[in-house]
Chain A
Amino acid sequence: MGEVERTFISGLKEELVEEKVIDESQLDPDFAKEIKKYGGKDVMTFLQCGNCTGVCPISLKIDYKTRSIIKYCQFGLKKYTLGTRWVCATCYRCYEHCPADINPAEVMIALRHIAVREGVIPPFIKVAATNLVRYGQSVKPDEEINKIRKELGLGDIHTFNPDFKKVLREISVLVHASKYDKLIGIEDEVKV
């Protein structure tokens, strides 16, 4: 960046978050096919009416625009689609309202698959996966949860129970066989 440009931009006090010009090298024409491969519908039929963003309960709180993410998918701008797709709660409200009859929530799930395969894995996914292997569930059982369970009249979660050990072993085998551990990067946890 030249001196003049830097002065100009600092004068505007504008942050350079994204690249201002998108050239052809960033476009991936097969991206729509890749999304289809991972279970999403054809994003090319999307009308860009903005209904999905309007009904999205998350978009009211977070800067998360379903419509623009799908627009990136249409162009094949992979880079922009790999970041914040994890906030989607897959409530399928967008699908209920979509006049183009495509399912934005499933596109988001497909984008997660692609992101993981590309190596973009947020830390909480690793934590959840580790918990799954260690305790058989994605949330770590602790004193608090056992207290709430007691209040509701449920028994404690015993990770030391021999029956439970058998289940855990089965989970480990499944995780190892499907190479999920390698994908997420938790090979050390899984002992088969």
Chain B
Amino acid sequence: MPFPQAVPLKYTIDRENCLHFKTGKCLLCVKECTNKAIDHKMEDEVLDLKVGTIIVATGFQTYVPMKKGVYKYWEYENVITALELERLLNASGPTGGHLIRPSDQKTPRRVAFIQCVGSRNKKIDRNYCSRVCCMYAIKNAQIIKEHEPDTEITVYYNDIRAFGKGFEELYHRVREEFGVEFFRGRPAKLSENRETKSIMIRAEETLLNKITEREFDLIVLSVGLLPSEGSKRIGKTLGLSLSSDGFFAEAHPKLRPVDTATDGVFLAGCAQSPKDIPDSVAQAKAAASSAAAIMFSGKVKIEPLTVEVDESLCVGCGLCVEQCPYGAPELIQNEEGRTRARIIEALCHGCGTCAASCPQNAITAKQFTDEQICSELVAALSPSSQARTNGKKAEEGV
């Protein structure tokens, strides 16, 4: 089993250390397993599946601190990321849940958390809040305090964002019951004591308006969340767009947070934006039910507003095929053997991109033909309508 909380909770074979893969012998496990569940001959295979809907839940990766950054993650031994601390505090982790610091394996007495590492930073183009770092830092602070009540813990924060159910209460608890200190200010400089390997943090306490220098045994960087590495590739394959932060863009940020611009493709979890476990579960259930609703009805309703191609004008240049965000136009050979564009109406959303780009004006959008739009414009710009608008503006006092 990879680790106790693995999903799915199944045993796997460690190929690197298995005697069978090393020497070609052993196979004791196969003899012992009463369910005959072990097969050493299984190989990775690529399957082609025909599916009705797709849920994209590719997750996230954590930010890796910069090589030459301020926080010296690569230079000082006692600067670790929150994910590494999580392993140290884990009961089944390498230390059995006992907190030690990397340089001398002693229990640290003074621990500092640094928030907003790799998030809320315009310099590195990460202008979003990762949403989970405040709460996992507070949770880890509580766990450390429960294990070692003598530890002094300081959290260097900008803003504490305890927004979820019960989060604010936890924040108050670690302050009041556990005595965790919260320090408002972003650390400016970290310097290591060569002998003790302790680290001095210089930062401005912005609420006191004073510059402080304090020494800590262990520094934990609360790293932010990044979009997972293959986001761009999957986005290209499925026709999904990425928002400015690099996560997948939803169809509407408020009203359709699970849907995407491509019909039948849904988003769940951190693939869409950084979020915590309850939010991820909620979105996953929403995505699953949205997908099921389409699959079980057996029919898909589409908008009647599509475009049509005038075959006598079309020269088959293929510009519409390139431009369409939904992949609706295709090039076919007509009876006379000439290449012409055809619109697959089930895919078309009637956005009009192809109609606007067509050099031959062969494509028209239904309900939005050139004549209709021109007459609308003429009516809107006519003197009588202008007089009306001006009159209205005058009434409103604009």
Using a CB–CB cutoff of 8 Å, the interface residues on chain A facing chain B are 47-51, 53-55, 59-60, 65, 67-68, 97-101
Contact = CB atoms under 8 A, between A and B. Distances in A.
B120 A50 contact: no
Interface of A is mostly: loop
Contacts of A100: 122
Contacts of B203: 50, 54
Given A67-B204, A101-B122, 9 more contacts: A47-B120, A49-B206, A50-B186, A54-B188, A54-B202, A54-B204, A54-B211, A55-B188, A99-B120
Given A65-B204, A100-B122, A54 B209 contact: no
A49 B187 CA distance: 9
Contact of A99 (B122, B204, B209, B211): B122
Contact of A54 (B120, B122, B186): B186
11 contacts: A47-B158, A54-B202, A54-B211, A55-B188, A55-B189, A59-B211, A67-B209, A98-B123, A99-B120, A99-B122, A100-B122
B123 A54 contact: no
Contacts of B184: 50
A101 B120 CA distance: 11
Interface of B is mostly: loop
Contacts of A54: 185-189, 202-204, 211
Interface in B160-209: 184-189, 202-206, 209
B315 interface: no
A96 B186 CA distance: 14
Contacts of A59: 204, 211
Given A55-B188, A55-B189, A60-B211, A99 B206 contact: no
A158 B14 CA distance: 83
* A-B residue pairs, 4 tightest by C-beta: A54-B188, A50-B204, A101-B122, A49-B186
B188 A51 contact: yes
A54 B120 CA distance: 18
A99 B70 CA distance: 12
A55 B188 CA distance: 5
Given A99-B121, A100-B122, A50 B70 contact: no
Contacts of A55: 188-189
Given A51-B186, A54-B185, A54-B188, A97 B204 contact: no
Contacts of B185: 49-51, 54
Point out which of B70, B122, B205, B206 has the most chain A C-beta atoms below 10 A from its C-beta.
B206
Contacts of B121: 99
A49 B156 CA distance: 10
Contacts of A68: 209
B267 interface: no
A156 to B, nearest CB: 44
Contacts of A51: 185-188, 204
B361 to A, nearest CB: 45
Point out which of B116, B121, B122, B204 has the most chain A C-beta atoms below 10 A from its C-beta.
B204
A67 B203 CA distance: 12
Nearest to A60: B211
A49 B189 contact: no
B106 to A, nearest CB: 29
A47 B184 CA distance: 12
Contacts of B70: 97
